[in-house]
């Protein structure tokens, strides 16, 4: 049983006899003898063997270990497919959210332009002899000046973003 288990678990882990021997600091022939049932590892080597194979010592000493089944591979493939679908859904949701954010920013820029056009720079007629009015007028003018120069760039960027995030057929 031990010999069969060592061989089956080693193969299921994708290790050659040489690779396992290197991990255990023994020669390949020692691993070969264990697998042929010609000798058995001592207790220290049995513990090292179980650690190298990533399996409990009881599994090595127990009943015959079953090799990897096709059902296990199928289950892993199904899990990977599920994860892939979840990632695709998340990516689609993020794309939709970004698209709506860009549409909202376009609407906000257009609305701000409309408000500024309707207000027609009211600060130009204010009395600037009052310090508070002068500060408010300067702030209003600075906002209007920055907005009028940066908004077209932001609007163009948002439109490009909307085009790039559209649903592809």
Tens-digit pLDDT profile for residues 116-130:
999 888 888 888 898
Q: Cα–Cα distance between 46 and 25 in angstroms, integer?
A: 13
Exposed e or buried b per residue across 143-156, where buried means at least 16 C-beta atoms within 10 angstroms of its C-beta: eeeeeeeebeeebe
The residue-averaged pLDDT of 76-101 equals: 90
Question: In this predicted structure, what is the pLDDT of residue 160?
Answer: 95
**Would you call 34 exposed, middle or buried from its count of C-beta atoms within 10 A (0-12, 13-18, 19+)?**
buried
The model's pLDDT over 82-94, given as tens digits with 9 standing for 90+, comes to 888 899 899 999 9
Domain 2-61 has CATH 3.30.960.10: no
Where do the structural domains in the chain lie, given as residue ranges? 2-61, 88-164
Residue with tokens 């998340």: 90
pLDDT at 1 over 80: no
Taking Cα atoms as reference points, which of 22, 30, 27 lies closest to residue 6? 30
């Amino acid at each position: 049983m031990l010999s069969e288990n060592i061989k089956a678990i080693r193969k299921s882990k994708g290790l050659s006899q040489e690779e396992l021997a290197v991990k255990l600091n023994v020669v390949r022939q020692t691993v070969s003898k264990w697998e042929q049932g010609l000798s058995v590892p001592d207790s220290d080597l049995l513990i090292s063997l179980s650690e190298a194979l990533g399996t409990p010592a009881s599994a090595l000493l127990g009943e015959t270990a079953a090799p990897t089944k096709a059902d296990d591979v199928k289950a892993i493939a199904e899990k990977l497919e599920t994860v892939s679908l979840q990632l695709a859904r998340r990516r689609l949701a993020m794309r939709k959210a970004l698209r709506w954010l860009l549409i909202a920013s376009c609407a906000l820029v257009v609305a701000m332009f409309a408000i500024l056009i309707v207000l027609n720079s009211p600060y130009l007629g204010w009395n600037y002899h009052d310090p508070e009015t002068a500060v408010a007028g300067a702030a209003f003018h600075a906002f209007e000046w920055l907005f009028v120069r940066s908004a077209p760039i932001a609007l163009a960027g948002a439109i490009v973003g909307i085009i790039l995030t559209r649903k592809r057929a």
